[in-house]
A = this chain, B = another copy of it.
């Protein structure tokens, strides 16, 4: 296990100075074609690879972006990171990944470590931006872009890319109403959640109101984005009289919970009950019947977040600051006209 060759080894072998080697490797500064060739030959012979750590130190740029997600095993986060990785790789950047389990303390800790590692920037994903976090962002001293979230409270605005949840929820409700449903239940997330909880509920409500359909309070249940809670809630909803003929859910997982509850009560989807989700996780296409849902293009959100970060690093100001992505309705087998 011999020492890795350094730029000095290449220089010696090519009979030039290290400065010249650096020039041909980085393509800056004028180099005679013959010299260039000699250097390249030496590089190839030695199997030389420049040491990115040393380069980072002197350039004060690591070509690395820190990515902070709650849990990479969450399919939503995974798709997001997939998009980030692709975009980053395309620009010579690497992703340093950290999972926080949504613990603020962990998040702050990781941001500090990212600072030590000299990441060029940070992408923060899908959590709420609290004051502690804003403080940590400030101490990081490097650009931050938000993916699938945005700043809702006080404090400085940050570049963000996310789907317009309100518009997406309206799409879902309008689809259901246009199929002829009038008794529509809503499985919502917490109204305290200003990113995905509140606006989706508002979208459902406003779209219904716009068509003159009222949603009675007992048809609205906060299942906290959890599948099991959605299952239980649906069991209860299906006992109500009159019974809802459709359920719109603020996440696919909740929708799948609802479908399970219907199945366990012997109701068929969509003949007896229409179910519409939100997110379009891969799972949505795989369950039976396949789930009608509102797509969030996760891969694209991730990619755009990185692209905005690189833009900031290049000195440009992303415009507009918050990039609202239009949601798209994907109609599959879980929605149909109400029972006669």
Contact = CB atoms under 8 A, between A and B. Distances in A.
B117 A53 contact: yes
Interface string A30-63: 0000000000000000010111111011000010
B115 A49 contact: yes
Nearest to A66: B94
A75 interface: yes
Contacts of A53: 53, 56-57, 62, 117-118
Given A227-B286, A283-B283, A286-B256, A97 B99 contact: no
How many monomers of this protein are in the complex? 2
Contact of A94 (B86, B98, B299): B98
A78 B282 CA distance: 13
B282 A73 contact: yes
A64 B1 CA distance: 20
A141 B72 contact: no
Contacts of A299: 73
A141 B73 contact: no
Contacts of A56: 53
A112 B96 CA distance: 17
B95 A82 contact: no
A263 B283 contact: no
A96 B67 CA distance: 10
Listed from nearest, the 10 A-B pairs whose CB atoms lie closest are: A73-B82, A52-B116, A78-B78, A52-B117, A73-B78, A53-B118, A95-B97, A53-B56, A73-B79, A97-B97
Given A53-B56, A85-B99, A253-B286, 17 more contacts: A51-B57, A52-B118, A53-B57, A53-B117, A57-B57, A73-B81, A73-B299, A85-B97, A86-B99, A89-B98, A94-B96, A94-B97, A95-B98, A96-B96, A96-B97, A256-B286, A263-B288
7 contacts: A53-B118, A72-B81, A73-B299, A81-B97, A94-B96, A95-B97, A253-B286
